[in-house]
Amino acid sequence: MKLAFSKYHGTGNDFILIDNRGGNIRLTRDQIALLCDRHLGIGADGLMFLNTREGYDFGMSYYNSDGNESTLCGNGGRCITAFARSLDLIKFNARFTAIDGEHTAEIINKIGEITSIRLKMSDIDKSKIQELKSKIQNPKSKIIYHTSSLVPRPSSFVINTGSPHCLIFMEDTSAIDVGQEGRKIRYDTVFEPEGTNVDFVQILENNHLFVRTYERGVEDETLSCGTGVTAAALAYAIIKLQAMRHEAHGIDHQASGIRYPASRIGVEIPGTRDSIRIETRGGLLTVTFRHEADRFTDIWLEGPAEFVFKGEIEVNRETKDVRRKM
């Protein structure tokens, strides 16, 4: 079977995009994993099918590089929007479905092969944002809960932004072995059976973060993760609220595990809109959202989606072999 594909990346998070509007392309888990293999296939963090969905511009089906269908991919949502534009399915606005429901996206501008896109994420109830310490009361958990810089600290959160994330705030993300430490948490019994993505977050200054992510399904650090930086921005907003409350009551905010005063962290004011700049190893993303009393609303993930190349590849159904032509 000859398969046409395009390769895109969003701040280093790279994907294979396949136009499946005809609905006749079926790939096995092994075939998807082989296509994503960086030595034997095209190479990518994941693969997406652009499908036909009645009432929408398109549907998005996302698979991790291990070949398994996965939850929402934020950078993937931006990349498939750029792919849809290349197919003349949309102009500047897209309305599509993903595994977690409906999403909208907006193309801000396009310069050469780089398209700046903002993706609307689902609203998040603050009551569903958990501090990690409430999750690891499970006696089978091997996560040690104290203020060491290399393990989960009091300023650690669990948030689902379309995909599950465990957020760990620390002073220096360069001090962490993301592959080794992230794997321990990803497979901890408290997150069974699906596991979790793990994000290590550093506060650079007010409304400016640096995030490194261990992605389940890839089973290693990726250069960027859209749902991860979104989760980091919302967890940071919770920390800002805590800092504001601590200072109001004369409590040392160092007890949270982050040794910054509220003046550096900033404050959270319900009803206002916030914009957080987030650096990753693959580039810069921005997350904007509105604070409400009980939830975060109007959440947008913004950043570049870049076309890399396109080609055709032979997929042998019996031997799982692939041969590239670009």
Residue 286, domain CATH = 3.10.310.10
129 and 107 share a domain? Answer: no
Residues of the chain with pLDDT under 50: 146-153, 248-257, 259, 261-262, 264, 319
Rounded Cα gap, residues 227 and 231, in angstroms = 6
Rounded Cα gap, residues 46 and 227, in angstroms = 14
What's the confidence (pLDDT) of residue 241?
77
135 and 253 share a domain? Answer: yes
61 and 158 share a domain? Answer: no
3-state SS, the chain, equals CEEEEEEEEECCEEEEEEECCCCCCCCCHHHHHHHHCCCCCCCCCEEEEEECCCCCCEEEEEEECCCCECCCCHHHHHHHHHHHHHCCCCCCEEEEEECCEEEEEEEEEEECCEEEEEEEECCEEHHHCEEHHHHCCCCCCCCCCCCCCCCCCCCEEEEECCCEEEEEECCCHHHCCHHHHHHHHHCCHHHCCCCCEEEEEEEEECCEEEEEEEECCCCEEECCCHHHHHHHHHHHHHHHHHHHHHHHCCCCHHHHCCCCCHHHHCCCCCCCEEEEEEEECCEEEEEEEEECCCEEEEEEEEEEEEEEEEEEEEECCCCCCEEEEC
258 and 177 share a domain? Answer: yes
156 and 86 share a domain? Answer: no
Rounded Cα gap, residues 62 and 73, in angstroms = 7
- As for how many domains the chain has, the answer is 2
255 and 195 share a domain? Answer: yes
84 and 192 share a domain? Answer: no
What's the confidence (pLDDT) of residue 72?
93
What's the confidence (pLDDT) of residue 238?
87
237 and 93 share a domain? Answer: no
295 and 180 share a domain? Answer: yes
Residues with a known catalytic role:
73, 225
What's the confidence (pLDDT) of residue 283?
97
What's the confidence (pLDDT) of residue 321?
57
229 and 152 share a domain? Answer: yes
Domain containing 79: what range? 2-120+306-325
143 and 248 share a domain? Answer: yes
What's the confidence (pLDDT) of residue 150?
37
224 and 95 share a domain? Answer: no
What's the confidence (pLDDT) of residue 322?
59
